[in-house]
Structure formats: structure tokens, C-alpha cells
Chains A and B, each alone.
Chain A
């Protein structure tokens, strides 16, 4: 298990990813938005932002454990 203090940040980030991916009111809200964000429809932005957040959290978690020497061989 991850034991470094950054564990809280990483677990919190993982939990955030799960919540925004799975909570129905979040995607209902995105579907209701009629405006484009950065030239893209809101629902496409919603999925791309979630995907980016999940990807960044996993890469961050690995790099953090590598930096702190908490990764086992």
C-alpha cells in the first residue's frame, strides 16, 4: 500500500476521478449545457477532461512513488 503523505492527495484524486465519472448528475449537467467549451461541445469536453484527469493522476502517482522511493521492486 502507498504509505507516503502524498498518498492522501493521490487517493483523493483517484476518488474525485471515480466520482465525476460515475455520478449521474454530473453528466446530466454536462448534457444540458448548450454552449461550446474551447470550440467543442460540452459533453465531449466532459469526457476529455475526465480522461485527462485520470491519466494525469496515474502518471503523478507513479512519479510521486518513484521520487519518494516508496515503489517496491
Chain B
């Protein structure tokens, strides 16, 4: 326990040294909320990965690969497709962001659809949907501390320790804002995905060479994908990949990465840097999980595959390193979520109705981050039985932002009524369907509740965009927006 916790402490101390050296720049809200759009491609790439892949990748998706096999690869497909999507929208979003000083995702909605209400609706959907995932992230850290304590800590003690660590870490998120998040993401990302990938490759080698486990030895069911006549339905995999790829950019803490880059070149270069690392990390993790499933201990506890194999291969030192890697991945995701939520509370909820100066915006953003940290910490310490179901519900809900967001970026025709109606009806439909048919909809051939609602959402958006005429002034305004990005 001293070794494993000592390694965690060493990592945390190094992180604090880095954070302490960062100067807070808060002469404008843009400096605080998007780091003054100043980050180069390598920072952008690592910041994207560190926010995209949470620590739960090692437990939930590593565990899924161990328990269910090749279907877990859907996470790799959608994670790479979402970068392709970023490449396509980078130019438009960054130019609009820079020209109109956009700081949050709802800012973009408000600009494109010329509506104050849409800013509130998008922010509320984003904030409400993000909380269950924040709480789950904190609880996942508790699972990690429990394993690393080698039985010395109970689950509730471990969760409280995890919450305490992540809450202390937020001192710097609140103090420095986005600048601190991105710079620390670079360090955390190097540990989580560069060191993490190398560790995964070493563990795969150990499983093959020392344990004689090969993919060919695994049960044939591990390689099945749901097709016609399957229990999940023939469109299940399609649904998972589609909603994953589109949904990624609906999370406010992912979307805001588009505003932190110092230019379109920086964004596109970051995509070219992040994708190979994302592929290496994702493929290595999932193959590792599948190979690990051959161990009896993993078969009994698939979600602990990362810790079980690390401990068996390299004892307590490697177990400690596995903990450091998971902590680094978790921190990036949680920090990003808290930072984006604080910025939205000040900018899109309070600032949408009350005139705030720069100092007040930053103050309310900091207070928002503090409040969301305390609320999530408190919720994480409670045993909430429906938390995971709430998180699934939240995901099906937030992807409803995708239709007005992507069509708004790529199509001139949409209007505020279409956008607000489609995403609100989509959000309510997704939640209603998930409550009525938890897990799967019997008549939808494997489409998830979010995917079915997305179709309805798209239909409403297109019909209202064609059916409702816009004023001449609004048409001119939207045309001018698109002229800015057409070269």
C-alpha cells in the first residue's frame, strides 16, 4: 500500500509543481474560459485525448472487452470518427469563435440561431447531463483507491479518499481556469496515453509470452457482433457508433476544445497528432482486455482487468503505476467537465440575463466550479442506486444537441424555432423512451432510445427549417456568417 499510494502521491506532487508554475491570466473572460485561444497543436491534441478518454476507459471499457469481447471495439470506431468530424468542422467553428469571441458551446448556438433562449436550453441540457458522469468519474477513483489499498480501505473510505483528491485538485482548476486545465492535460495525457499505451503493450506481451494467451484461444462468442436475430438487434452496433461519434461533440467540455486552439491549423494538426495515439491506445486497451479475459481472476471481476493483470505481471510497483495512469486519465476528464460547467453557469445562464463585467463573470464562473465540485463530491459519497441509469439517460439526452449543432454549422437553412423544438422534443423523447424501455426498445431493431429520438429530432428540424420562413434581415445575417467561412 505504501508503494502504490507513494507513486500516486509522487504523481500528484509533480502535477502540483506544474500547476503552481502556471500564471493565472484573467484580464478577460476569454483568457479564463478558453485560455485566450492560444494553444498549439500538441497541447490541443493531448487536451482533447485527456478529456475524451476518462479513467473509466481502463475499468468500464477494459472490463467490457474482457466480458463481452470484440463489440467493445465500437468505442475505438466512434472515438476516431469523432476526430474526423472535428477535422470537417474545425474551420467554421474556430473562425466563428474567434470573430465573435465565443467561449462556450451555447455561445455558438446563440450566434448561429440568434436566440437568447437557445443559449439557456443548450446550457441546461449540457450541465444536467454532465453531473451524473462527473459523479461516476469520482466514484471510479474510489474503486481505484480500494484496489490499490490492497484491502486496507473499505469501499466508502476509498470513495471519500477519491473525492478528496479530486476536490483538492479543483483548487487549481478554479484558480487558473482553462489555461491550467490545458497545460495540466498535457502532462496528464502523456502519463495516461503515452505511458499508458506503452504499459498496455508490455502487458499484452506478458499475456502472450508468459501466459500463452492468444486471441485464437479465446471462446468464439468473444468475436461475435450482433446481427439479424441477435438479442441486442441488428442495428445495435450501428446505433452505438453513430450516437458515440455525433454525441462526442455535444458534451460542452469536449466542444470547448475547438475554442482553445490558436488557429485552424493548430486544430487540424492536433487531429493529425491525436488520431494515431488514440488508435494505438484504444486498440491496445481493448486487445489487452480481451486477452486478460482468459485469466480466471479477470473472468470473475472483468472491470478490474487493468489492476489484476498489472499486479500479476509486475507486482505492487506495476499496480501503483497502473493507478497513476488511471488517475491521470480521470483528472483530465473531471477537470474539463468542471471547468466547462462553471463557464456555462456564468456565461450562459446568469450572464444570459444579467449584465456582468469581466471580473463578475470570472467570479461567478469560479463560484460555479466550486458549487459543482461540492455537489458532485457530496453525491459521489452517497450510494445512489440509480446513478448509472441516470448517466445512460443523460447520454441519450445530450446527443439531441447534435442535430441543431451540426446542421447549424453545415446548413444555412435552420432557424431558432426549428433548433429549440427539435432538440427539446428529442431530449424529452429520448428520456421517455429510455424510461419506458430501459436498455433496449423491442420494436427498434437494436436502435437505442437516443438514436430513435435523434431521427425524430432530425425530422422536426428539417420540416421546421423548410416550413418556417425567416425574416429578410435574419437571412442576411446567416448568409454573412457563412460568407465568413467560405473561401
Contacts and interface: CB of A to CB of B under 8 A. Distances in A.
Contact of A47 (B76, B84, B87, B216): B76
Given A17-B81, A62-B271, A73 B279 contact: no
Contacts of B242: 22
A44 B447 CA distance: 23
B76 A58 contact: no
A21 to B, nearest CB: 5
Interface stretch (B30-38, B233-241, B463-471): B233-241
Interface of A: 1, 3, 14, 17-18, 21-24, 27-28, 30-32, 36, 39-44, 47-48, 50-52, 54-55, 57-59, 61-63, 65, 71-73
Given A28-B234, A31-B225, A41-B223, A51 B241 contact: no
B311 interface: no
29 contacts: A14-B88, A17-B81, A18-B81, A24-B227, A24-B234, A24-B238, A28-B227, A28-B228, A31-B224, A31-B227, A36-B216, A41-B70, A41-B223, A43-B70, A43-B223, A43-B224, A51-B77, A54-B81, A54-B83, A55-B80, A55-B279, A58-B84, A58-B271, A62-B87, A63-B272, A71-B265, A72-B264, A72-B265, A73-B264
Interface in B227-279: 227-228, 234-235, 237-238, 241-242, 263-265, 268-269, 271-272, 275-276, 278-279
A73 B287 CA distance: 38
A45 B236 CA distance: 20
A62 B265 CA distance: 9
B486 interface: yes
Interface residues of B, number: 41
A4 B37 CA distance: 27
Given A14-B84, A51-B283, A73-B263, A21 B77 contact: yes
B223 A55 contact: no
Nearest to A3: B487
A55 B279 CA distance: 7
Contacts of A17: 81, 84
A44 B87 CA distance: 26
A48 B283 contact: yes
A8 to B, nearest CB: 14
Contacts of B225: 27-28, 30-31, 43
Contacts of B264: 71-73
Nearest to B269: A62
Contact of B84 (A1, A43, A57): A57
B241 A21 contact: yes
Interface in B283-298: 283, 287
A18 B82 CA distance: 10
A23 B77 CA distance: 13
B80 A22 contact: no
A6 to B, nearest CB: 14
Given A14-B84, A28-B227, A55-B279, 10 more contacts: A3-B487, A18-B84, A22-B238, A22-B241, A39-B216, A41-B223, A54-B83, A58-B275, A62-B269, A71-B265
Nearest to A53: B80
Contacts of B227: 24, 27-28, 31-32
A54 B87 CA distance: 12
Given A47-B70, A54-B81, A54-B275, A71 B224 contact: no
Contacts of A32: 227
B215 interface: yes
Contacts of B278: 55
A30 to B, nearest CB: 7
B249 to A, nearest CB: 15
Interface string B60-77: 000000000010010011
